[in-house]
């Protein structure tokens, strides 16, 4: 029996099979049938991953985390590239949040374009600085670009655009209307948006346009999501307002966009603390116009809850803040000092150990943006797993006033808070040490 004749019967069989049963099924097929089965997007795609039919300009895949956005986007782009009637003389633009994220996730990742391409239609990949070029076997070209430099798309006559995590771009509204839409003008001229929704009026307006088609999906609509991934997402987001956004793919009503709402739980007495860390986000300079050096002490109680103990942030110079950090380390009998070193490098550890050479110290290399770092910590607050020991007025004001993408001033106190609670309460203890949360977020 030919591969094409076998596919309908396989399609009836695979739904509901456990992973080991699927593996056994694939192993039972001949090489031709197995390759055809694994390559067939028509066979594997879930209902919400089906590209809409009919006439439309934009397809917004408004899905929660774990619903299969990257995989579906990559498979769809490979299918579009194969159809020269759609592309004609145009090209494809593939745009992630940043240059590195486009390369790492959308092109080269396990769910990216190269890994999901049919075995007989794998594109060649030519990475470059700030861009990159895909060339499929039929000559269709795909340009890898970034949302934080969206104007670069204007040099491309695009027949199709894939914009991933659009709502996490620095200025999605300007990027979209001034750069992305004008660049998509040849042949098929369709735009695909795969994005976890954000409470932004621009997204609401985009969805309401008559030539926009929206599909919605939750993490639970993807039965192929690994159990460990589902558990990690649930641990971070389940039972929170942001869980409706991150897991269910809903747009929250709060257009303000602040992560913290100000209803902090407070305690006057502390349980026995099993761990205490002093978290530091050092400033590069210490003038009146400089960012603050964030210094926040947090603890983990024997009850499993997090406690914000002290905020000693300020515009301290390099001769001041290390001594303050060590004083807090000793006063609170902390287990460790953790410090972000993106700007200061090895200097940060050296100035701390110059005050106390025996201090327990770990460095953090921040690889994810502030939003992705802060979301799981804000979720801990919503789950009522964090209390403030007393009132920390300036820190709390910064928490409730910081709106990602809007607030221009760097939230240094919040950054230190996030590093500390991540160290104590989340599975990814620091961004320099990879862990499950880092993989999923």
pLDDT for residue 369: 67
* Closest alpha carbon to 169 in 180, 158, 185: 180
What pTM does this model have?
0.63
pLDDT for residue 434: 30
**How many CB atoms are closer than 10 A to CB 38?**
13
pLDDT for residue 232: 81
Alpha-carbon span 3 to 227, nearest angstrom? 31
Alpha-carbon span 283 to 125, nearest angstrom? 39
Alpha-carbon span 108 to 118, nearest angstrom? 15
- Which CATH number fits the domain 265-440, given the four candidates 3.40.50.970, 3.20.20.210, 3.40.50.410, 3.30.420.240? 3.30.420.240
Same fold, 45-246 and 265-440: no
pLDDT for residue 305: 95
Q: What is the pLDDT of residues 419-441, one digit of tens each?
A: 999 999 985 433 333 333 232 22
CB 63 within 8 A of CB 216: yes
pLDDT for residue 14: 67
Residue 221, CA atoms < 13 Å, CB-side half-sphere: 19
CATH of domain 45-246: 3.40.50.300
Residues of the chain with pLDDT under 50: 1-6, 255, 428-441
Taking the domains of the chain in order of start, what are their residue ranges? 45-246, 265-440
Specify burial of residue 405 (Cβ count, 10 A radius: 0-12, 13-18, 19+). Answer: middle
pLDDT for residue 4: 42
CB 379 within 8 A of CB 244: no
Structure tokens at 217: 């999906």
């Amino acid at each position: 029996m030919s591969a094409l004749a076998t596919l309908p019967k396989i399609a009836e069989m695979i739904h509901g099979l456990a992973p080991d049963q699927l593996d056994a099924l694939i192993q039972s097929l001949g090489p031709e049938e197995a390759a055809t089965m694994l390559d067939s997007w028509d066979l594997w795609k879930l209902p919400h991953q089906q590209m809409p039919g009919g006439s439309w300009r934009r397809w917004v895949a408004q899905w929660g985390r774990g619903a299969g956005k990257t995989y579906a986007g990559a498979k769809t782009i490979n299918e579009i590239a194969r159809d020269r009637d759609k592309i004609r003389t145009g090209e494809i633009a593939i745009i992630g949040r940043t240059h590195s994220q486009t390369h790492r996730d959308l092109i080269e990742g396990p769910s990216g374009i190269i890994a999901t391409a049919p075995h007989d239609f794998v594109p060649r990949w030519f990475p470059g600085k700030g861009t990159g070029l895909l060339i499929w076997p039929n000559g269709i070209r795909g340009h890898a670009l970034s949302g934080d430099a969206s104007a670069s798309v204007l040099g491309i006559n695009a027949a199709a655009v894939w914009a991933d995590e659009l709502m996490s771009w620095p200025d999605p509204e300007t990027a979209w209307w001034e750069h992305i839409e004008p660049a998509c003008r040849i042949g098929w001229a369709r735009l695909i948006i795969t994005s976890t929704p954000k409470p932004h009026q621009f997204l609401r307006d985009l969805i309401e346009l008559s030539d926009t088609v929206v599909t919605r999906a939750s993490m639970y609509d993807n039965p192929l999501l690994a159990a460990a991934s589902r558990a990690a997402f649930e641990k971070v987001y389940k039972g929170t307002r942001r869980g409706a956004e991150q897991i269910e793919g809903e747009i929250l009503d709060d257009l303000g966009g602040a992560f913290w709402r100000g209803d902090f739980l407070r305690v006057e007495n502390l349980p026995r603390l099993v761990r205490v860390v002093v978290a530091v986000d050092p400033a590069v300079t210490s003038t009146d116009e400089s960012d603050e050096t964030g210094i926040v002490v947090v603890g983990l109680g024997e009850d499993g809850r997090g406690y914000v103990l002290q905020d000693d942030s300020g515009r301290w110079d390099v001769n001041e803040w290390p001594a303050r950090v060590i004083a807090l380390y000793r006063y609170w009998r902390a287990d460790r000092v953790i410090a972000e070193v993106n700007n200061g490098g090895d200097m940060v550890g050296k100035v701390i150990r110059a005050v106390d050479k025996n201090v327990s110290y770990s460095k953090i290399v921040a690889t994810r943006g502030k939003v992705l770092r802060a979301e799981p910590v804000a979720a801990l607050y919503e789950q009522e797993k964090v209390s403030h020991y007393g009132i920390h007025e300036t820190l709390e004001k910064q928490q409730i006033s910081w709106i990602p993408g809007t607030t221009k001033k760097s939230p240094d106190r919040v950054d230190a808070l996030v590093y500390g609670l991540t160290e104590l309460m989340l599975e990814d203890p620091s961004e320099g040490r990879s862990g499950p949360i880092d993989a999923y977020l």
